[in-house]
């Protein structure tokens, strides 16, 4: 097992370019199963979750050719299997995303329950209800048995605005007969990317960016090319790294058009940045003073569905708050295990009260000190890496494969910014 060794207290300085969006790459790779013609994807992030998805689609009959490290050509002449490897499915939550494409193209599959981060219960009911509305027959006994004699469009009201369920249903509806109208659909940037990609391949999807999608089914999708946008979670992670180390970092191609709410939330933590074209410049001078509510009450940062503050950035924001002057209540109602990493920050010197599984109160600023840590999930792992960069002394982070599921060459990028971080084997 590999680990990171980080000497903290070094201000980051320089420029960095984020990799392609993991949360877009995974459904886009699954969507390549919908056509028998070649599809070229550019800016594919070289991360563990993407490699796992590649193995999944290859096991179903896709041929993946690396034109460059980050440009792949995927051709699925035919689907050659209907059973998925349980071990592969356990590696990533996104394994569920092959259900819609395979169901639409071949009529059925057996899908083991997906894995992914251990951050609390993550229900799959919305996927099943939506695919059943399109005509699928689904049974579950530790493995999903999904069959169809032909999908037909339907009027669907999702019981929650699930990102992956929206993506699954859109992919299935793209080849269903007739019209599908999906209400309460998720509208995150990566959902928008998937819809635009499908339209490039010949799908007919309207309402992109809204919570109501209209999909007119077509008989066949053709090939095409698409460039994956920047990973916004990585962008904000490097913003946080610059802030907690009191450094100055320019982030190129930062997807600034999607960061409005994140900028509002970080402004409440006393963080500001400058937008210069498509770049973000994080200056070294930050007030890092938490803004109280108008009545003087302790402010709250609460996650919600897009375009509100995303749950995946909670861990990063909590770490930044440990270095800000004042108190902030964090409330992530989506996942019961999201906050449990905070005990590791407390062990480094942070003042955090875990109110319940969904809320914690952070009081800062505090000097963080080095510690031996373990990465529990992708986002908490990156948050602990930020804490180690800010801490006095030398920290070790074990189980870095969790971080590398979502961040490409994170140690190389941080070293290019001046961080004293190296990789070692335990």
pLDDT digits over 254-287, tens only? 999 999 999 999 999 999 999 999 999 999 999 9
Segments forming the whole domain that contains residue 276 = 2-19+230-425
- Number of domains the chain contains: 2
Distance CA 345, CA 311 (A): 18
Residues 284 and 412 in one domain: yes
User: pLDDT band at residue 85, thresholds of 50, 70 and 90?
Assistant: confident
Q: Of 159, 194, 227, which residue constitutes the final position of a domain? A: 227
State phi, psi for 350 to the nearest 5 degrees.
-70, 150
Among candidate residues 197, 227, 257, the one where a domain is terminated: 227
- Average confidence (pLDDT) over 227-239: 98
Q: How confident is the model over 379-415, as pLDDT tens digits?
A: 999 999 999 999 999 999 999 999 999 999 999 999 9
Residue 220 sits in the same domain as residue 266: no
Regarding whether 244 and 175 lie in a shared domain, the answer is: no
What would the pLDDT profile of 170-209 be if each residue is shown by its tens digit? 999 999 999 999 999 999 999 999 999 999 999 999 999 9
pLDDT at position 152 over 90 = yes
pLDDT at 120 over 60: no
266 and 209 both lie in a single domain: no
* pLDDT above 70 coverage of the chain, percent: 98
pLDDT the model gives residue 46: 96
Can you give the pLDDT at residue 115?
A: 66
Question: What would the mean pLDDT of 116-142 be, rounded to a whole number?
Answer: 77
The strand pair at 248-251 and 212-216 is best described as: unpaired
Given this model, what pLDDT does residue 148 score? Answer: 87
DSSP β-bridge partners for residue 327: 363
Is the pLDDT score of 167 beyond 90? yes
Beta-carbon contacts of 43 under 8 Å, excluding residues fewer than 6 positions away, are 19, 20, 70, 71, 227, 228, 229
pLDDT at 38 over 80: yes
> CA distances (Å), 242 to each of 10, 28, 36, 271, 281, in order?
10, 31, 45, 10, 10
The alpha carbon dihedral of 85, 382, 275, 258 has a sign of: positive
Given a cut of 70, whether residue 329 has pLDDT beyond it is: yes
* Residues 262 and 380 grouped into a single domain: yes
Does the pLDDT of residue 121 top 90, yes or no? no
Candidate from 11-15, 266-270, 332-336, 387-391 with smallest mean pLDDT: 332-336
Residues in the chain: 426
User: End of a domain among 198, 227, 256?
Assistant: 227
Q: 329: closest CA among 358, 372, 295, 286? A: 358
**Best CA proximity match to 154, nearest among 172, 129, 180:** 180
Q: Tell me: do 208 and 260 sit in the same domain.
A: no
Q: Are residues 82 and 150 in the same domain?
A: yes
- Dig out the tokens for 144 from the structure: 């999903």
State mean pLDDT over 288-308: 93
Do 120 and 254 lie in one domain? The reply is no
pLDDT at 335: 80
Kindly indicate the confidence band of residue 124, based on its pLDDT and cuts at 50, 70 and 90.
confident
Please check whether residue 144 is in contact with residue 168, taking contact to mean a CB–CB distance below 8 angstroms. Answer: no
Return the structure tokens found at 378: 């992708």
Q: How many helices (H) and strands (E) does the chain have?
A: 14, 23
Pairing verdict, β 204-206 and 179-183: unpaired
User: Are residues 161 and 258 located together in one domain of the fold?
Assistant: no
Same domain, 356 and 297: yes
- Distance in angstroms (rounded) separating the CA atoms of residues 370 and 357: 26
Query: Does 307 lie in the same domain as 210?
Result: no
Among 339, 348, 291, residue whose Cα is nearest residue 318: 339
Q: Kindly list the catalytic residues.
A: 117
374 backbone dihedrals φ, ψ, rounded to 5°? -135, 135
Q: Which tokens sit at 371?
A: 């510690």
Write the burial class of residue 252 (CB in 10 Å: 0-12 exposed, 13-18 middle, 19+ buried): middle
Q: Same domain, yes or no, for 110 and 198?
A: yes
Section 19-23 average pLDDT: 97
What is the model's pLDDT at position 117? 45
Q: Considering the chain, what is the average pLDDT of its residues? A: 94
Least confident segment among 233-237, 276-280, 337-341: 337-341
For the domain that residue 396 is a member of, what is the CATH number? 3.65.10.10
User: Which whole number is the average pLDDT over 234-246?
Assistant: 98
Q: Are 190 and 209 in contact (CB under 8 A)?
A: no
């Amino acid at each position: 097992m590999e680990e990171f060794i980080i000497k903290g207290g070094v201000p980051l300085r320089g420029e960095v370019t984020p990799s392609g969006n993991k949360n877009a790459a995974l459904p886009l790779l699954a969507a390549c199963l919908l056509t028998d013609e070649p599809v070229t994807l550019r800016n594919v992030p070289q991360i563990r979750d993407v490699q796992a998805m590649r193995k999944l689609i290859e096991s179903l009959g896709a041929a993946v050719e690396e034109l460059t490290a980050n440009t792949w050509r995927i051709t699925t002449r035919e689907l050659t299997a209907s059973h998925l490897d349980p071990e592969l499915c356990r590696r990533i939550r996104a394994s569920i995303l092959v259900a819609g494409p395979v169901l639409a193209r071949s009529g059925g599959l057996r899908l083991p329950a997906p894995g992914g981060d251990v951050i609390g219960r993550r229900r799959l009911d919305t996927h099943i209800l939506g695919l059943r509305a399109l005509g699928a027959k689904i049974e579950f006994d530790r493995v999903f048995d999904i069959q169809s004699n032909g999908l037909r469009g339907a009027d669907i009201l999702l019981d929650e605005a699930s990102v992956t369920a929206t993506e699954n249903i859109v992919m299935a509806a793209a080849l269903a007969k007739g019209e599908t109208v999906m209400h309460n659909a998720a509208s995150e940037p990566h959902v928008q990317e998937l819809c635009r990609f499908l339209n490039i391949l010949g799908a007919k999807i309207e309402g992109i960016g809204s919570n109501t999608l209209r999909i007119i089914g077509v008989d066949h999708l053709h090939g095409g090319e698409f460039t994956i946008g920047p990973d916004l979670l990585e962008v904000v992670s490097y913003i946080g790294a610059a802030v907690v180390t009191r450094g100055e970092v320019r982030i190129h191609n930062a997807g600034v058009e999607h960061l409005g709410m994140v900028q509002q939330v970080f402004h409440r933590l006393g963080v500001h940045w400058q937008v210069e074209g498509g770049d973000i410049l994080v200056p070294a001078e930050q007030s890092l003073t938490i803004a109280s509510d108008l009545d003087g009450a302790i402010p709250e940062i609460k996650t919600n569905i897009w375009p509100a503050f995303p749950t995946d950035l909670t861990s990063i924001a909590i770490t930044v708050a440990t270095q800000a002057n004042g108190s902030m209540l964090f409330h992530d109602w989506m996942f019961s295990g999201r906050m449990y990493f905070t005990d590791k920050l407390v062990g480094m010197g942070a003042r955090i009260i875990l109110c319940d599984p969904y809320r914690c109160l952070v009081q800062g600023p505090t000097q963080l000190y080095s510690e031996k840590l373990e990465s529990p999930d992708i986002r908490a792992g990156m948050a602990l890496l930020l804490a180690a960069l800010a801490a006095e002394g030398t920290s070790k982070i074990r189980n870095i494969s969790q971080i590398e599921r979502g961040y490409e060459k994170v140690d190389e990028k941080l070293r290019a910014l001046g961080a004293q971080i190296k990789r070692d084997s335990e």
